[in-house]
Amino acid sequence: MAEIVVPELAESITEGTIAKWLKQPGEQVNKGEFIVELETDKVNVEVISEEAGVVSELLVAEGDTVEVGQVIARVGEGGAASAPAAAPAPKAEEAPVAQAEPVAEESSSMDRAIASPAARKLAREKGIDLNAISPVDPMGRIRVQDVEAHAAAPKVPAAPAAPAKAAAPAPAQDDGRVTREKMTRRRQTIAKRLLEVKQSTAMLTTFNEIDMTNVMELRKRKKDDFFEKNDVRLGFMSFFTKAVVAALKKYPYVNSEIDGDEIILKNYYDIGIAVSTDGGLVVPNVVDADRKNFAEIEAAIGELAVKARDNKLTIADMTGGSFTITNGGVFGSLMSTPILNGTQVGILGMHTIQRRPIAVGDNIEIRPMMYVALSYDHRVIDGKDSVGFLKMVKELIENPEDLLLGS
């Protein structure tokens, strides 16, 4: 009898949700064949069977939360199961909850959390369990400011249990006027992280507008040749990615993060590109965007978008971002204030292109205009750098030949 165990996924991921069983009791499974799809905070992972045989038992149901190392199914020998166990029904209030495998040593609970040495030391001094802290970092790494925020948070006393006779009445029968839908693990994580960013940063947004005339004309002239040579379409995202990298090099504090009382300046340019999926917004990274040409950037963005919508993103795709670009314009947004992504201190928001009357010299002309927004952490970035950064992005997009010559 072989056991199917939740595998180690990444240092910051300790649990997941059973998204879908790909095999049912009584079905044959081959060694290395996928048996279950697991949804984590960041990516979906398909778990394989290490042995060939017949699925004899599923220990948890779809929608259940499971921990790394937990046994979730068993595979028996033979070509058929004598009496296969049915998949467990959706959990009821009185149904037993599947238990995780016991931890070998209680003292290891602090080690399971991923934290910087300074954060780990501060947590020990304050007597705080690292596993009780909700980090801002999207990859789950706990930093000094997370420990300090947890220590400063008001402690809510537990409410006394109400006597049995004062128990609340059972909820009224659903009359069809509302529908309750459990949030997915990813949606819960998105909600928690966005709230934490708003509460733990001094976020501010500055705006500008870009005349898209020149970049649209250049794209129109070059798009056919570009596709013929590179087998990928020339879009606006490569221009904005190139412009952002150039601006980050001139304003390096926009490409940094805070760790306690230190600023970490990043000497790499992994640009996160926000992608909307049915499960929520994800931000995979174009790694080393400064070393890629236009075609390589467009190909990377296209590949990441497909992987995101097919739930095929890996932990590596989501790790290491230094700055993020989000394009609400694809949905028709005219203006918005994007929220910072994890520990990053800057995010650029693109918006829909709208033809508007603009003063050009002494004349009024109708031009295709785009509002852009830079949200930034004011603890690191002052107004001079934020305005200068956004102004440089504007100038480069309005003079796209400079980007082509510099790439």
Give the angle 75-80-65 at the CA atoms, nearest 5°: 30
- The type of residue at 39 is E
Determine the Cα–Cα distance for residues 339 and 319; give it in Å rounded to an integer.
18
Give catalytic status of residue 382 as yes or no. Answer: yes
Q: How far apart are the first and last CA of the chain?
A: 58
Phi, psi of 205 (to 5 degrees): -130, 135
Alpha carbon distances (Å) from 129 to 68, 132, 241, 374: 19, 6, 40, 36
Determine the Cα–Cα distance for residues 72 and 87; give it in Å rounded to an integer.
11
- Among the options 225, 310, 378, 402, which is catalytic? 378
Give catalytic status of residue 378 as yes or no. Answer: yes
The two beta strands, 44-48 and 65-67, are: unpaired
Taken in order 200, 255, 388, 274, is the CA torsion positive or negative? negative
- The type of residue at 99 is Q
Phi, psi of 31 (to 5 degrees): -65, 130
- Among the options 111, 129, 225, 382, which is catalytic? 382
Q: Tokens 């500055």 appear where?
A: 206
**Positions marked catalytic:** 378, 382
